Amino acid sequence: MQFAAALFTKVFAGAGAAAGAAGTAGTVATAGSGILGTLGKVAGVFSAVSSIGAGAAANSQAKVEARQQEFESRNEFIEGRETSAALKAELYQTVANQQVAFASGGAGLGSVSVETARRQATADAENELSINSSSSITRSMQRRRQAANTRARGRAALTQGFLGAASTGLNTYIDAARIG
């Protein structure tokens, strides 16, 4: 009987030790789960912040590009004006040279041939001025459109950054709720 009592005591003592060890393992597992949960939350926050930062950086870059395109638009317009002024100066020079040539040849400045040559030179110059003006305005407007599109791309990148951060935050919250 003493043997049975000793055996019975040792079995229950072993079961108690095993239960204590299991409780300790559970506590360690719970602590490990808590640390992993915290690390997951921290990683989620960093991911959300980096998503917003990437969107903000893309938006800033787009703003810089848009300003450059606007500058190029103004430059196109100015170059068009300068070319137009040069074409007008060339027209005046051509008409003056024609008048000198006709006068030195003995033709009267009011003659039909002098007037026809002047009209033709003026028509040619006006045609070139019109083409130049249209081309420079078209190039300038294209640059402005590019600038507007670039700004829109930047705003979209910023929005995408915030939406990505919200998505990351929601996923982190769901994961934290699952872990407990």
Judge whether 167 lies within some domain.
yes
Judge whether 99 lies within some domain.
yes
Judge whether 8 lies within some domain.
no
Report whether pLDDT(25) > 50. no
Judge whether 63 lies within some domain.
yes
Report whether pLDDT(21) > 60. no
Tally of domains in the chain: 1
Report whether pLDDT(4) > 90. no
**pLDDT score of 105:** 67
Burial of 149 (0-12, 13-18, 19+ CB in 10 A): middle
Judge whether 68 lies within some domain.
yes
**pLDDT score of 37:** 67
What is the mean pLDDT of the segment spanning 29-57?
77
Report whether pLDDT(7) > 50. no
What pTM does this model have? 0.59
- Exposed e or buried b per residue across 22-53, where buried means at least 16 C-beta atoms within 10 angstroms of its C-beta: eeeeeeeeeeeeeeebeeebeebeebbeebbe
- Tell me the Ramachandran region of residue 106: left when phi exceeds 0, alpha when psi lies from -120 to 50, beta otherwise: left
What is the mean pLDDT of the segment spanning 77-96?
85
Judge whether 75 lies within some domain.
yes
Domain that holds residue 171: 56-180
- Tell me the Ramachandran region of residue 99: left when phi exceeds 0, alpha when psi lies from -120 to 50, beta otherwise: alpha
**pLDDT score of 107:** 66
Judge whether 145 lies within some domain.
yes
Judge whether 41 lies within some domain.
no
Report whether pLDDT(45) > 70. yes
**pLDDT score of 71:** 93
If one counts every other C-beta atom within 10 angstroms of the C-beta of residue 12, the result is: 10
Report whether pLDDT(106) > 80. no
